[in-house]
A and B are shown apart, each in its own frame.
Chain A
């Protein structure tokens, strides 16, 4: 009887360049980058005409739509303009990678490698966000940029006063500050594991369904994965812009409930 071989938690190393391990997720990240760069170059090919063609119009729709969507959160076009490259890139990169993760061949094309002395067939490609390395990196970027924007817009003193308040001056706010500080680290973990968990679970789900009902069974779940891939990218970008908005306000409101969305 055949057994289900669920993908392991960690991504597999498929090649080495010096001491650098090329993981299958890293390969996927590069493919996603190539796709996005190709799109970017096609956009450049439109010459950004005042009267747009179909492709340029589609791109304007996506960019303009994302901008208006983020602006609805920030409520200040100038600030949105400053945050936009970061959050839009998070959204587009994650969604592109998530969607490419369910293409045929991902996980099924394997390469022969030696794992701990035994020959093994390792998948050449694996969905980028089914690897904590990738999600953690983006989570770190998101949280670090939140801090940087906070310092840039408020100044270092007012920004740090959100976390460090002298207990003899305001004991309650002092404690709240410590909570805020802990929350910053919680953000990194929640960001990275939310995305990793969703995408990795999707991978496992598809493997299991493909094993149980190989013919038409995975179809609805593929649709579901498209949806989940989009939603996870959106959630990541949206939470980032919410945190950016809060970090750049002098006395942030306590909307950390959003963290547990």
Chain B
């Protein structure tokens, strides 16, 4: 106890210092520790969130890029297939048109030939008729001079009968 007295220890002062400490603890907690630590925590959380967001956006971007490339590839393939099909169809149509044209041409040719043959036949027929009558008349004239009526008649009849078969 003598030691405590020499050191000047006084329970009232002890108590006063405890009160001092409590007051300063309260003041610092209320004005500094709590708000600043909350602020620091909030900021930390915000930074963490921002980093996470950045990462997520980056991931999304890569995904989008991959998706875009895939789509492009798909479109390329589709266009290729479409072109192929169009080419095939065009080929078919070309063939059809060519076939039709060929047919038409053949048809026209055949018709022309037929017409030609018909016309030749007609002309031939006409020429035959004319020739027959000319020959008959010429023969009549010759026969009138050289043969008797009876011979003439026989010859003319025979001629008329046989001549067309000779001329055809």
Asked if A and B bind, the verdict is: yes
Is the CB of B12 closer than 8 A to any CB of chain A? yes
Is the CB of A81 closer than 8 A to any CB of chain B? yes
Please give me the 5 A-B residue pairs with the lowest Cβ-Cβ distance, nearest first.
Answer: A10-B8, A137-B17, A40-B31, A133-B13, A132-B7
Known: A26-B17, A29-B17, A63-B36. A37 touches B27 (CB 8 A): yes
Within the complex, the shortest CB–CB distance from B163 to chain A, in Å, comes to 132
Interface residues of A in 81-113 (CB under 8 A from B): 81, 84-86, 88-89, 92-93
Report the separation of the CA atoms of residues A138 and B14 in the bound assembly, to the nearest whole angstrom: 9
Report the separation of the CA atoms of residues A21 and B8 in the bound assembly, to the nearest whole angstrom: 11
Within the complex, the shortest CB–CB distance from A111 to chain B, in Å, comes to 17
Within the complex, the shortest CB–CB distance from A210 to chain B, in Å, comes to 23
Instruction: Name B residues whose Cβ lies closer than 8 Å to a Cβ of A.
Output: 4, 6-10, 12-18, 20-21, 23-25, 27-33, 35-37, 39-40, 42-43
Partner of B36, one of A10, A11, A48, A141: A48
Kindly supply a per-residue 1/0 record for chain A positions 156-195, scoring 1 wherever the CB is within 8 Å of any chain B CB and 0 otherwise: 0000000000000000000000000000000000000000
Closest residue of chain A to B12, judged by CB?
Answer: A20
Report the separation of the CA atoms of residues A32 and B23 in the bound assembly, to the nearest whole angstrom: 12
A40 contacts B6, C-beta separation under 8 Å: no
Within the complex, the shortest CB–CB distance from A33 to chain B, in Å, comes to 5
CB contacts (< 8 Å) of B15 on chain A: these are: 137
Known: A26-B16, A64-B40. A133 touches B25 (CB 8 A): no
26 A–B pairs (Cβ distance < 8 Å), ordered by A: A10-B7, A23-B13, A26-B17, A29-B17, A37-B27, A39-B32, A40-B28, A48-B35, A59-B36, A60-B36, A63-B32, A63-B40, A67-B37, A67-B40, A84-B33, A85-B33, A86-B25, A89-B29, A93-B21, A132-B9, A133-B9, A133-B14, A137-B17, A138-B17, A141-B18, A141-B21
Report the separation of the CA atoms of residues A21 and B25 in the bound assembly, to the nearest whole angstrom: 24
CB contacts (< 8 Å) of A85 on chain B: these are: 25, 28-29, 33
B43 contacts A89, C-beta separation under 8 Å: no
A137 contacts B21, C-beta separation under 8 Å: yes
Most interface-central of A30, A50, A89 (chain B CB within 10 A): A89
CB contacts (< 8 Å) of B35 on chain A: these are: 43-44, 48
A81 contacts B37, C-beta separation under 8 Å: yes
Interface residues on A, range: 35 or more
Report the separation of the CA atoms of residues A81 and B29 in the bound assembly, to the nearest whole angstrom: 11
Closest residue of chain B to A96, judged by CB?
Answer: B24
Is the CB of A9 closer than 8 A to any CB of chain B? yes
Closest residue of chain B to A138, judged by CB?
Answer: B21
Report the separation of the CA atoms of residues A138 and B25 in the bound assembly, to the nearest whole angstrom: 12
CB contacts (< 8 Å) of A59 on chain B: these are: 32, 36
A89 contacts B28, C-beta separation under 8 Å: yes
Kindly supply a per-residue 1/0 record for chain A positions 16-43, scoring 1 wherever the CB is within 8 Å of any chain B CB and 0 otherwise: 0001110100100110110011011101
Overall SS of chain A's interface? helix
Is the CB of A225 closer than 8 A to any CB of chain B? no
CB contacts (< 8 Å) of B23 on chain A: these are: 33
A9 contacts B6, C-beta separation under 8 Å: yes
Given contacts A60-B40, A89-B21, A133-B17, 7 further A-B contacts (CB under 8 A): A29-B17, A33-B24, A36-B28, A48-B39, A84-B33, A132-B7, A140-B18
Report the separation of the CA atoms of residues A125 and B20 in the bound assembly, to the nearest whole angstrom: 17
CB contacts (< 8 Å) of B25 on chain A: these are: 85-86, 89
CB contacts (< 8 Å) of B42 on chain A: these are: 50
A136 contacts B9, C-beta separation under 8 Å: yes
CB contacts (< 8 Å) of A222 on chain B: these are: none
Report the separation of the CA atoms of residues A215 and B36 in the bound assembly, to the nearest whole angstrom: 43
Is the CB of A134 closer than 8 A to any CB of chain B? yes
Kindly supply a per-residue 1/0 record for chain A positions 50-92, scoring 1 wherever the CB is within 8 Å of any chain B CB and 0 otherwise: 1000000001100110010000000000000100111011001
